[in-house]
Structure 1
Amino acid sequence: MTVSLTKPRATSPWISLGVLAMAQFVLVLDSTVVNVALPSIQNQFELTEARLAWIPNGYQLAFGGLLLLGGSLGDLYGRRRLFMIGLALFSGASFIAGIAWSADIVIAMRFVQGVGAAMTAPAALSSISRIFTEPGERSRALGTWGGITALGGVVGAVLSGVITQLASWRWVFFLTVPVTVLALLLAPRLVPESRAPSKPRLDVVGAALVTLGIGTAVFTLLDKGQRSWTSPFVLTGLAVAGLLIVAFVLWEKQRTNPMVPLSIFRNRNRVVGVVASVIFGSILSTYFFTTTQYMQTVLGFTPLRTGVAYLPLGLIILVSFPLVSFVVARIGIRPVMPTGLAAGMLGLILLSRISVDGTYAGDVLPGMCLIAFAAACGFVTFTIAGVDGTTEENAGIASGILNAGGQIGSALGLATLVSIAVSVLASELAQGVNRSQALVDGFSKAYTVGAGLLLVGAVIAASFLTRRTTVTESAPMM
């Protein structure tokens, strides 16, 4: 088979990785860069907690819901081409969000950013899986990619605090524009084009069903407010979401060329990687949202101090991820992934003990350190497991599913756990509890539920991962 991959000129694969990783860094950074700025945005536009959550969730919902379609588009029309189109869309939406005159514009542009990211991310990751065909190099490249992904989230939180304090929350959106423009200029020269040898048909109906299903669930959970979990609004919304997801599965099963071919899930490591990515994504998005709110609303931190408070998280990831990559290259992902998930579980258990009179050193930092180690272990191992054994034919869709898992987990997890926290908040406020104590109790409940989810993920990883990952050999590059 002839691999459909072309290079405009001889380029080191590691230079190509640098350009692709630059874009991925910005996409992940954008998932967290708004978190420290959220209280400032909330104050300017007078938003409730549930409406505020749409600012991070709008991005994650569009990103996760359209990733599979993005992967298919890259396979069909060329991964570098989709990478560049997505970056251009993302950059334009970032600029408009920065000049937004209402919360509705910010939320709308977050959705558009998510659409651009859904084109860029799977195209970049599947390009890496095709550029690095030697098993050892591919594992190192994917490990580096995973570490940069984790680091991007932390840098976003730190920069957000600095920018919000010294300039304005609007600059958290302007920040990404120069980087994306640079990547757009470099990509045609340094990133090879590739596409699937066959011509897959686009599955627009499938993409619509899965996005509407997830979107309905997120909308229902975020708008739950003070309603009971058994209220007609909640039950109807979740039932409609469930029916849409079932319809998506049935639609995919009867298609000759489905957007999500069931054969993708014959590889056990891929399944575990996606499941773990969903679980950890749901926890990490909630962690940033609630911890930021706790530090600024309860402990009284300024945005700058909040951003600086996340520095240990970044430093631990920076130190840990090359070590994790080194260890994984020698002993495999099977012992590393569950270890990381278990560390995250312990971190959330420590965070669940936060108090109104707490301190950064005593209440926030210990759990943060464990979450950082969990992120380093997770992003490296999830990436390697999620594209295990892919071929030129299915690299795009496999990477799309992996990315979608993390983003969908982020959207659903944030909606669910914030809904739990808001329910506790509303209940305690009705009982006369002061707002700070009610907030802390709500956050603590969310952390506790999150710890339980990570325990489930650790058990799944320990039980079902195979001892070795495999890399399907592809034809030589032409």
Structure 2
Amino acid sequence: MVRHLFDTCRRERLVAIETTSPPRLDRRQRLILFVLLGAGFMLSVDFSILNVALPEVGAGVGLEDARLAWIASAYALPAAGFTLVFGRMADLFGRRRLFMSGMVVLTGASLLGGLASNPEMLLTARALQGLATAMTIPAGLSLLTTTFAEGALRERALGLNGALLSGGFTVGALIGGALVGSLSWRAAFFINVPVAVAILLLTPALISESRMPDRIRLDLPGAVTVTGGLLAATYAITEKNAVAAVAGVVLLAAFWVIELRSPAPLAPVRILKRPTVKWGNYAGLVIFTMEPAMIFLTTLYLQRTLGLSPLATGLVFGVPGLASVVAGVIAGRFIGRFGGRTVLVAGLTVQGLATLPLVFLGDGLIALAILIPALFVGFFGHVTAIVAYTVTGTSGLPDEEQGLATGLTSMTQQVAITIGIPILSAVAATQSGELTGLHLALTVNVAVTLASALLIWLGLHSRGEQPVTVTPVSPSKKSDEQLTAP
């Protein structure tokens, strides 16, 4: 009798351990993750890898200082403007096909940039890198969400994806400083080529092509107006151009009208009205507007105010960047246990509160004792919020609309990264002193982030909508999102 009770308890304990243990990936799934996440990581590195070496790059091709900002803008404009269209094209014409096409474009762009001998070649290469990002990121993310079903496995995959995407921005600064210091800025372009070629060779063997709809239709008027509108609006913000701003507003308004009337809309309004899609993408806008802008302003502070070298600047961001990896690994488990809304708001709140100490930075090296721990905590919250917003914005939708959903989240990310830096830089420029300007810009950063966290909490709660989550203990239970989704 005692032995029987012992065996029963032992079996129940083993079952409990199995049901609560984190999901396991098989060998093929790990390889698919390696390919898809490797591509996303490389592209996120590309965005920031040249930021710590802009003077050296400009001098190398004869680009005057007043146009150095275009090294970032030439990349960001196509990345922001074309992402939504390419995300939908991935649904219609094949996700693997578009993913591999983006890798081909990236390979050519990286070779062109590494061989650039004048400003035109360099900026063309950066624009093509941005175009490759617009093609690859939504296609790769939709391949990820359709490979891994909603639940613990997808949350784990998206956690790793968020860690690598965010980590890429900080690692890019570290790699950029190291490459420029030891080799040349051209190595920042050439390093992409072998990685892209390896991805092109592995992808056909690991990933099958997505099933395409029987009747392929692309909403061309919608594609033209949304792309033109996003390009114009992004250009208006980066260059402070009123004419472009008006054009952007008119084109985006025309896009909305077209989508209401189109029989096959590029972005169905019913999807855009879903609370999870609407508030998830708003969260992504805040997450990626505020944090990269903070990193940019802090980079200038480290080099101009504290006098650090590009390599030392990269190390300041690279060491705390390890928190990104940790957050990405465990964020999916947080979502499975506490729910997407709670994790999203908590991550965004941590991101904002960790920026608060930076408002009081001084002009001495002792400031690093405040800055580095704050960056560590902030990166942890930042990546946790990235994972939660990606899960929020892509959950509860059928596979045939995953390209659109991931296109929306990717577009939000690219637009936010592009507009955040000029907006907070303009806020900082209103002050006469550089340090005073930094303090004001970071104060605005904290206020917007924390206020948005409250709005998102109320917005997702008001309709009873939460991201889909499947806990390891009760995989049969459906979330509120699944039960209430139209």
Which TM-score band (shorter chain)? 0.7 to 0.9
Deviation at 1:440, TM superposition (A): 2.6
CA deviation profile, 1:197-248 (whole Å, cap 9, x unmatched) = 3434223433332233233333333334xxxxxxxxx544433322222122
Structure 2 equivalent of residue 163 of structure 1: 179
Structure 2 equivalent of residue 330 of structure 1: 337
| Inter-CA distance 208–91: structure 2 relative to 1 (3 Å threshold) | same
The 8 Å contact of residues 221 and 419 in structure 1, kept in 2 or not, is answered as no
Structure 2 equivalent of residue 260 of structure 1: 267
The 8 Å contact of residues 69 and 204 in structure 1, kept in 2 or not, is answered as no
Q: How far apart are the structure 2 equivalents of 1:326 and 1:392? A: 23
Structure 1 position 340 matched with structure 2 position 347: yes
| Inter-CA distance 314–257: structure 2 relative to 1 (3 Å threshold) | same
Q: Which runs of 5+ in 1 are unaligned?
A: 1-9, 225-233, 429-437, 473-478
| Inter-CA distance 47–419: structure 2 relative to 1 (3 Å threshold) | farther
1:449 is aligned, of 444, 455, 466, to: 444
Determine helix, strand or coil for the equivalent of 1:12. Answer: helix
The 8 Å contact of residues 19 and 191 in structure 1, kept in 2 or not, is answered as no
Structure 1 position 181 matched with structure 2 position 197: yes
Structure 2 equivalent of residue 460 of structure 1: 455
| Inter-CA distance 410–314: structure 2 relative to 1 (3 Å threshold) | same
CA deviation profile, 1:319-368 (whole Å, cap 9, x unmatched) = 22222222212111221111111122123332233333454524532431
The 8 Å contact of residues 352 and 444 in structure 1, kept in 2 or not, is answered as yes
Does 1 or 2 have the higher relative contact order (CA < 8 Å, sep 6+)? Answer: 1
Deviation at 1:93, TM superposition (A): 0.7
Q: How far apart are the structure 2 equivalents of 1:40 and 1:301? A: 16
Structure 2 equivalent of residue 418 of structure 1: 425
| Inter-CA distance 269–134: structure 2 relative to 1 (3 Å threshold) | closer
Task: Say which one has the larger Rg.
Answer: 2
CA deviation profile, 1:171-221 (whole Å, cap 9, x unmatched) = 112222211111111001011210343434223433332233233333333
Determine helix, strand or coil for the equivalent of 1:259. Answer: coil
The 8 Å contact of residues 217 and 412 in structure 1, kept in 2 or not, is answered as no
| Inter-CA distance 468–201: structure 2 relative to 1 (3 Å threshold) | closer
Determine helix, strand or coil for the equivalent of 2:340. Answer: coil
Q: Number of residues paired by the alignment?
A: 442
Deviation at 1:401, TM superposition (A): 0.5
Q: How far apart are the structure 2 equivalents of 1:126 and 1:85? A: 15
Structure 1 equivalent of residue 134 of structure 2: 118
| Inter-CA distance 304–11: structure 2 relative to 1 (3 Å threshold) | closer
| Inter-CA distance 423–103: structure 2 relative to 1 (3 Å threshold) | farther
| Inter-CA distance 131–248: structure 2 relative to 1 (3 Å threshold) | same
Determine helix, strand or coil for the equivalent of 1:394. Answer: helix
Structure 1 position 203 matched with structure 2 position 219: yes
Range with greater deviation from structure 2 (451-460 or 392-401):
451-460
Structure 2 equivalent of residue 274 of structure 1: 281
Residue type at the aligned position of 1:73:
M
Deviation at 1:389, TM superposition (A): 1.0
Range with greater deviation from structure 2 (133-142 or 156-165):
133-142
Range with greater deviation from structure 2 (123-132 or 264-273):
264-273
Q: How far apart are the structure 2 equivalents of 1:263 and 1:84? A: 30
Structure 2 equivalent of residue 212 of structure 1: 228
Residue type at the aligned position of 1:218:
T
Residue type at the aligned position of 1:123:
A
Structure 1 position 310 matched with structure 2 position 317: yes
TM-score normalised to the size of structure 2?
0.84
- 1:26-425 to structure 2, matched below 5 A, reads 26-42=42-58, 45=62, 47-48=64-65, 51-133=67-149, 135-224=151-240, 234-357=241-364, 359-362=366-369, 364-424=371-431
Determine helix, strand or coil for the equivalent of 2:42. Answer: helix
The 8 Å contact of residues 116 and 122 in structure 2, kept in 1 or not, is answered as yes
Q: How far apart are the structure 2 equivalents of 1:134 and 1:245? A: 32
Deviation at 1:372, TM superposition (A): 0.7
Residue type at the aligned position of 2:450:
L
Deviation at 1:84, TM superposition (A): 0.3
Structure 2 equivalent of residue 23 of structure 1: 39
The 8 Å contact of residues 87 and 116 in structure 1, kept in 2 or not, is answered as yes
List 4+ stretches of structure 1 deviating above 6 A.
Answer: none
Q: How far apart are the structure 2 equivalents of 1:193 and 1:262? A: 28
Determine helix, strand or coil for the equivalent of 2:320. Answer: helix
| Inter-CA distance 416–199: structure 2 relative to 1 (3 Å threshold) | farther
Q: How far apart are the structure 2 equivalents of 1:371 and 1:52? A: 28
The 8 Å contact of residues 197 and 392 in structure 1, kept in 2 or not, is answered as no
Q: How far apart are the structure 2 equivalents of 1:30 and 1:301? A: 22
Q: Which runs of 5+ in 2 are unaligned?
A: 1-25, 471-477, 479-486
Q: How far apart are the structure 2 equivalents of 1:266 and 1:237? A: 27
CA deviation profile, 1:270-302 (whole Å, cap 9, x unmatched) = 222211111111123312322222212221111
Determine helix, strand or coil for the equivalent of 2:428. Answer: helix
Deviation at 1:469, TM superposition (A): 1.1
Deviation at 1:376, TM superposition (A): 2.0
